[in-house]
A and B are shown apart, each in its own frame.
Chain A
Amino acid sequence: MKSTSDELKGYKGLARKKLIEWGVRVWSDVRVINDAGSVFEGVILPRFGYFDDLHLVIKMKNGYNTGIHVNRVKSIKEIGYKKAIYKIPEKEFPHSDTLRNVTLLGTGGTIASRLDYRTGAVIPAFTPGELYGAVPELADICNLKTKKLFGVFSENMAKQEYITLAKTIGEEIAAGADGIVIGHGTDTMGHTAAILSFMVQQSPIPIVIVGSQRSSDRPSSDAALNLIHAVRAAALGDIAEVQICMFGPTSDYYGLLHRGTRCRKMHSSYRSTFRTVGDIPLCMVNKNNFEYLTQDYLPRDTERHVMIYPVFNDRVTILYYYPGMNPDLVDALVEKGYKGIVIAGTGLGHVNKPLYPAIKQAIKQGVHVVMTVQTLWGYVQMYVYDTGRDLLDIGVIPLDNMLPETALMKLCWVLGHTDNHDEVLRLMRHSVNHEITEREPHNGYLILQGGLPEIEKFISSHWK
C-alpha cells in the first residue's frame, strides 16, 4: 500500500518508517501484539507533530489512548479502516415573530464546540443549527443569525480583523439587528472590546463580546452559560455599548457586563477572569434577570445612528517600563518607524531620567508618546514630581486612568485618523466612552486580600 503523507498524519522518523513497512496508516483498525505478548486492539490515531517519533498511538476499544513503542511491536494486522467524519448535529434554529433578532459574529474563538474524541481536536459549533443543537436554550431568547468572519485564534486578531469587524457591525445594524454578539477568544478580548469602542460609536443596540475560559467540550464549561447571558444582553439588555460579557464569580451564577474600554483579563485561567478596572461593571445578568449597577450608560435607542470609524495604524507599540531600561530601546522603535509609543510607567507615570533624551528625540521625529500606569488602577499624575513635569515638557501625553491596552488600541485608532500632534493630543485626551474617567469611585478599586479575617468571613459566605 502506498502511504501518502496525509495517511500517516503526524508520524515521522522511525515510527513513520515502520508504519510504511507494516502497510498500516492513520485510521487503520489494527490488532497489535508486542514483545510481552500484550494485545492492543483499536484505531491508529494521527500524532501531534511535537510528539516523539518512537510511538504509535492507538485508540483502544475501551476508549483509552495508548502509545506503543514501535520497536516493541511483534506483529500488527489491519482488521479494518475507520476514518471518522465529525459533524455537530444540526437542528433548525426555530424562528419566532415575537422574539428579537440577534446576529452572532464569529472570529474563531470557540464558544460552542465539541471535542473530536479520538484526536482531541476541537470542532467548533457555529451555525445557528449547530448552536441550537449544543445550547437549545438560545431559541427561547431570540432569533439567531450567524456570520463567520474569520477563523483565527484571539492572539492573531489584528488590524484587518478589527476593521472587518467594525464594518460588519455597521452592516448588521443597518440590516435591523436588535443586538450583536461577537464570539471571541478571551486572551485579547479586552483589546477587541477597546478598539471596537472607538471604531463603533453611538450604536443603537448592544454589542456584546463573549467567550469561554473552559472550552465547551468539557461538561463544566462556562461557554454555554456565557453565551446565554450574552445573547440575553444583546436581545433584551438596555446597554447599547461595546461590552464584554463573562462570568461574575467562578460559580455558575451570573455574568457581568463590562464596559469595553475599562475591562481587563486578570487571571490566566479562572472563569471570572474579566474585571472592570477603575470603575464598577455595568450590569449583572443571569438567566432571568438584569441588574443594572449604574445608570451611566448609553441606552438602547433604535432611532440613533451609528458611526463607524474603521481606521487603524498598527505602527504603535507599548513599552512596559522597568528600572534600568536602556534608552536605545526607544531609539530602535523610532528607527523602525513606529509612530506611537504607549508607556506603561511606574507609579504615577514615571520612567528614569536617562530615557528622557531618547523620548525627546522620538517626539521630535514625530512619534507620539503617551503615558499610562502599570499599576492599572489609579491616575497618571505627572505634575506631582519634577520627573513627571520634565516628561510633560518634553511632550509626553498623560492619559490619566486609561488602561495601557486601551491606550494602545486608541492610539492605533487615532493615528489612523491623523498625524498632527495637537490633534492626536486632543483626541487621545478626549474620552470617547469612559476610557478616561474624571472620578474613580472608592469601590472601583477593590482587590480583596485573602487571609484577612474579615475577607475570609466574606468569601466563606459567598459563592466564589
Chain B
Amino acid sequence: MEQNINYTEIGLIAGLEVHQQLLTQRKLFCHCPSGLYTKDHDGVVLRHMRPTLSELGEYDGTALMEFKSKKNIIYLLHKNNVCTYEMDDTPPFLMNQKALDVAIEQCLMLGCDIIDEVHVARKQYLDGSIPTGFQRTAIVGVNGRLPFLGRELSITQVSIEEDSCREVSDKGHLIVWRTDRLGIPLIETVTGPDLRTPDEVVEAILLIGRVCRTTGHVRLGLGASRQDINVSVRGGRRVEIKGVPQAWWARRLVHKEAIRQVNLLRLRDELHKRGFRTADDLVIKHTDVTSLFKASQLAFLRTENWDRYIAEENRRPGMELGEGPFCVRAVKLTGLINTLNWPTQPDYSFAHELTGRVRVIAGLDQQPILIHSEKWPNYKGSQRELLRVKEKIGCSSNDSVVIIWGPLNDTLTAAEEIRIRHVDAVNGVPNETRQPFVDGNTDFERILPGPDRMYPDTDSPPISITRQRVKQLRAKLPPPPWEREELYGAVGVPRNTIHFLIRRGDAAIVDKVVGMCGADIRQACFFFGEWLKGMRRDGAAVDTISIERWCDFFKLIAKRPVLWEARKQLVSLIANAPEKTIKQIVKETGLKTKPSGWENLVKKIVENSQLDPNNNSYEKQFRFYMGQILKELRGRVPARSVIAVLQEKLHKRII
C-alpha cells in the first residue's frame, strides 16, 4: 500500500470542529462550580435512552444505532460538582450570561457576525454521554474568517454548549460515565471545509487555539480543548474523527483516513464489478455453529470457557451481559471472497471495519471480537475446523465466513450489523464518527448523526443579544494573535515564544505591563515567555500571581531597575505571600535601599576570601567574587556598579 499520496489528486477535503471550554465560575445551565473535577463519587444513577421520532416518524440513524446497542448507562455523581440539573431531575436554569459574554467575545475574535437572538437547541446523543439524552447548544456567531496561510479560513458557525460526561468504562452492555465535566460551558467553532492537506489541518487547529486563548477567558490544560476533524476524499463521504486531543495527532489521522477512504472506494468498485450494486444483491446469511466448536482449541469459542470468562470479568445479567445463552455464529458472505483482507489503512483490512461495528453496536467485546476465513488463526486442527464450518453453512470457494460469539441475542445483532456494513461498502464510504489513536489509526465510534437529531429546547427562552452588548465586548478585545506576532516579532521575540505567550494567555499580561506599567516589551515577552518557565519548573507558584500583582511588580521595576536583578528572589516571595502587597514584600527584603559603604563590602570580601590556588585565572576569580558579593548586594546595587568596583579591585591585586 502506498504511503505517499497526492492529496490534490484524491480530492482531500477537511474541516474542523474545535471545542474549547470557557473559563467561568459556574456551569452553563445550573449554578454548580465549573472545572471542579473529582476522582470518586457519592451517588449512582442508572438510566437508559430511547430514541425519539423525527418529523417523518423516522428515527435518526445514530439514535437508532445507539438504541440497538441496548446500553445500561450508569452515572457517577459527586455532590461537590453536580446538582439535580445534571442528573436530569431539574429543568435548566437561565443560561449563564457570563459564559455567553465569553462566547460572544470568542466569536468576535474569530471575526464572526453575532446572532441577534440566540435559540437553545437540543442535540440528541443516545450514547449516554449526557443524561438528558441531548446536549443543549445554541449558535452565537456565524460567518467568521481568519487570515490563514496567505488566504482565509472561513468560520461557518460558533455555538455555545454544555460539555458532556467523561467515560469511565464501557464493557458489554454497560457504560459508566462520570458527571463532573457535564455542563461546563464550551464553544464549538466550525470551520468551512477549507483544508486540503494534513499539515493545513494541524496549522488550522493551532491557529484557532491561539485565537481562542488570546482573551485569557478560556480553560487551559488537558481536555479543555478537543477537536473533531471532518475528512473526505472525492467520491467518499464525511467522516468525523472525534475528540483529537492534540493538534499534531491530526497529521497522521487525516493521512490515514484519506487512505482508508480511497481504499474503501476501490473496494466499492470491486464489489460493483462482482455484481454487488445494491443491498438486494448481497446474500449474507448466518447460522448457529456453537456445537462445531465444543472441543475447539480456540478457548473463547467453547461454552464452558464463556462461563468462566463472564465470571472472571464479573459480567452481570441485566448489566454488562447481553441476553441469551452462549452462541457461536457463522456469517456467510456469499461471493465476497477476498474482501475481508481488503486493505483499508496501513495496519488494517476491511475486517476491522466489521470488528468496530460488532463491538460498539452488538456489545460483543471479547478479544479478538471476530475471526474470519481469510485470516483464520493457526492452531492444531484449525483448517479442519474451518472446513467443518464451511460445510455446515454451505460455503463455496467464492464465499467467506465470519465467526462471532457471545450471548445469543448479541450475536444476532452482530450478524445484522455485518450485513449492514457490507451494504455500506457497496455504497463506498459510510458517514461515521471514528475514535482517534495516537498512531493515526481510528476505530468505529458511531454512525454520524444528521440534522434530524436537532430539536428546539422548550425549557429555555430565546436570548436577544443587543448591538450595545456586542459593542461593549468588542471594545475590550485584545489584539488578535497575528497582530501580536508582528508586534513582538519586531523586537526580536522568536515565534515559538510568541505562540507560547498567546496559548497560555500570558500575552494579555505582557500587553498590560507594557502598556500600563512601563515595562519594556522585549523584556516582558522573554520574562513571561521564557524566564518564568524555569521558576515554574522549580515548583514556584508563579501561575497564582494575579495580573494586578504583576502590574505592581513591573511598576516598581520601572521605578527601580536594580530590583530586576533580584527578580528570582522577588517573584518567589510574591508567589508565596499572596496576602502581602508587592511594596511590603520589597520593603521586608530591604532591597529598596542601597547600603552605604557597599564599596567597602566588596573590598572586604575580596580580601578575606580564600581562593583555590589551582583556579586563579582572572575569569574564575571574577566569577567567584561576583557570586559572593551579589549574595549581599543583588537588587540593592546595580550589577554593573558592582562590576566596576570589583574589576578595579582585582586589577589592583593582579598587578
Residues in chain A within 8 A of chain B (CB atoms)? 34, 36-40, 51-52, 54-55, 57, 60-69, 72, 84, 86-89, 114-120, 122, 133-134, 213-214, 216-221, 224-225, 250-253, 267, 269-271, 456, 459-460, 462-464
* Stretch from B51-59, B360-368, B393-401, B485-493 forming part of the interface with A: B51-59
Q: B142 contacts A219, CB within 8 Å?
A: no
A33 to chain B, nearest CB (A): 10
Q: List 10 A-B contacts (CB under 8 A).
A: A64-B138, A68-B116, A88-B57, A116-B55, A122-B458, A219-B132, A220-B132, A251-B47, A269-B89, A460-B41
Q: Does B139 contact A (CB under 8 A)?
A: yes
1/0 contact trace for B442-463 toward A, CB 8 Å? 0000000001111111100110
A196 to B124, CA, bound (A): 39
Q: Which of A67, A120, A252, A267 contacts B115 (CB 8 A)?
A: A67
> Are B133 and A220 in touch, CB under 8 angstroms?
yes
Q: What's the Cα separation between A271 and B91 when bound, in Å?
A: 12
**Which residues does chain A contribute within 8 Å of B51, judged by CB atoms?**
219
Query: Is there contact, CB below 8 Å, between B46 and A253?
Result: yes
Q: Whole-angstrom distance from the CB of A135 to the nearest CB of chain B?
A: 8
Instruction: Give A123's nearest chain B residue, CB to CB.
Output: B53
On chain A, the residues within 8 Å of B116 by CB distance are: 54-55, 67-69, 72
Which listed residue, A51, A134, A456, touches B53 by the CB 8 Å rule? Answer: A134
In the complex, the chain B residue whose C-beta lies closest to that of A72 is B116
Query: With the chains together, A137 CA to B118 CA distance in Å?
Result: 39
A120 to B134, CA, bound (A): 14
Residues of A within 8 A of B52 (CB): 114-115, 216-219
Q: Establish whether residues A250 and B117, one from each chain, have CB atoms under 8 Å apart when the complex forms.
A: no
Closest-CB distance, B93 to chain A (whole angstroms): 12
For B143, give the chain A residue with the smallest CB separation: A38
Given contacts A69-B117, A218-B134, A219-B134, 20 further A-B contacts (CB under 8 A): A37-B113, A40-B142, A55-B462, A61-B451, A64-B137, A64-B454, A65-B119, A65-B121, A67-B119, A89-B57, A114-B52, A118-B55, A219-B52, A220-B49, A250-B89, A251-B45, A251-B46, A252-B46, A269-B89, A270-B89
The yes or no answer to B126 lying at the interface (CB within 8 A) is: yes
Q: Which residues of B sit under 8 angstroms from A251, Cβ to Cβ?
A: 44-47
Q: Is the CB of B53 within 8 A of A88?
A: yes
Interface size class of B (residues with CB under 8 A): 35 or more
Report whether A269 and B84 are in contact in the complex, using a CB–CB cutoff of 8 Å: yes
B 43-101 contacts with A by CB, 8 A: 43-55, 57, 63, 77, 84, 87-91
Chain A residues lying within 8 Å of B214, measured Cβ to Cβ, are none
CA distance A217 to B142 in the complex (A): 29
* Distance between Cα atoms of A269 and B84 in the complex (Å): 9
Determine which of B87, B123, B133, B143 lies in contact with A250 in the assembled complex, contact meaning CB atoms within 8 Å: B87
Which residue on A lies nearest to B48, using beta carbons?
Answer: A252
Q: Is the CB of B88 within 8 A of A220?
A: yes
Asked if B455 contacts A57 (CB within 8 A), the reply is no
Cross-chain contact A464 with B45 (CB below 8 angstroms): yes
Nearest Cβ in chain B — how far from A309, in angstroms?
A: 38
- The answer to whether B216 has its CB under 8 Å from any CB of chain A is no
B89 in contact with A271 (CB, 8 Å): yes
How far in angstroms is the closest Cβ of chain A from B17? 12
Q: Are A66 and B113 in contact (CB under 8 A)?
A: no
- B455 near A115 with CB under 8 A, answer yes
Main secondary structure, interface of A, reads loop
Contact with A along B19-59 (1 / 0, CB 8 A): 00000000000000000000001111111111111110100
Nearest A residue (CB) for B453 = A63
Chain B contacts for A87, CB-based, 8 A: 57
What 0/1 pattern do residues 341 to 373 of B give for CB contact below 8 A with A? 000000000000000000000000000000000
**Is B322 positioned at the interface, with any CB of A under 8 Å from its CB?**
no
- Bound form: Cα–Cα A267–B47 in Å: 19
- Cα distance A392–B381 when bound, in Å? 93
For the complex formed, measure the closest distance between the CB of A205 and the CB atoms of chain B, giving whole angstroms.
Answer: 29
Is residue B159 within 8 Å, beta carbon to beta carbon, of the partner chain?
A: yes
B50 in complex: contacting residue of A52, A120, A224, A460, CB < 8 Å: A224
Contact among B44, B134, B461 with A460 in the assembled complex (CB-CB below 8 Å): B44
Write the chain B residue with the least CB distance to A65.
B119
In contact, A38 and B53 (Cβ under 8 angstroms): no
Residue in chain A with minimal CB distance to B77: A464
The answer on a CB contact under 8 Å between B452 and A63 is yes
What sequence of 0s and 1s flags, for each residue 118-158 of chain B, a beta carbon within 8 Å of any chain A beta carbon?
11011110100001111001110011000000000000010
Instruction: List chain B residues, Cβ under 8 A from A34.
Output: 113
Q: Which residues of B contact A52 (CB under 8 A)?
A: 464
Give Cα A386–Cα B435 distance, bound, in whole angstroms: 75
Determine which of A51, A68, A117, A224 lies in contact with B456 in the assembled complex, contact meaning CB atoms within 8 Å: A117
Contact A54 B464 (CB under 8 A): yes
List, in ascending order, chain A residues with CB within 8 A of B43's CB.
459-460, 464
Tell whether, in the assembled complex, residue A64 and residue B139 are in contact, meaning their CB atoms are under 8 Å apart: yes
Within 8 Å CB of A84, what residues of B? 55
The answer to whether A62 and B451 have CB atoms under 8 Å apart is yes
Whether A68 contacts B113 by the Cβ 8 Å rule is: no
Shortest CB–CB separation between residue B362 and chain A, in angstroms? 20
Q: Are B50 and A219 within 8 A (Cβ)?
A: yes
Once the chains bind, are A63 and B131 in contact (CB under 8 Å)? no
* Chain B contacts with A in 485-517, Cβ cutoff 8 A: none
Asked whether A67 lies within 8 Å of B143 as measured between CB atoms, the reply is no
Q: How far is the CB of A250 from chain B (nearest CB, A)?
A: 6
Set of chain A residues within 8 Å of B454, measured between Cβ atoms: 62-64, 117
- B87, B117, B451, B464 pick with most chain A CB within 10 angstroms: B117
Complex CA gap A55/B42 in Å reads 45
Q: Closest CB-CB distance, B169 to chain A, in whole Å?
A: 17
| A40 nearest in chain B by CB position | B142
Task: Report the Cα distance A13→B115, complex, angstroms.
Answer: 21
A residues in contact with B453, CB < 8 Å: 63
Quick check: B117 and A68 within 8 Å, CB to CB?
yes
B500 to chain A, nearest CB (A): 34
Q: Which of A51, A114, A115, A133 contacts B458 (CB 8 A)?
A: A115
What is the 8 Å Cβ interface bit string for chain B, positions 406-450, against chain A (1 contact, 0 not)? 000000000000000000000000000000000000000000000
Instruction: Determine if A218 and B133 form an interchain contact, defined as CB atoms under 8 angstroms apart.
Output: yes
Query: Which chain A residues border B139 with CB–CB below 8 Å?
Result: 60, 64, 66
Smallest beta-carbon distance B448→chain A, Å = 13
Cα–Cα distance between A54 and B50 once the two chains are bound (Å)? 37
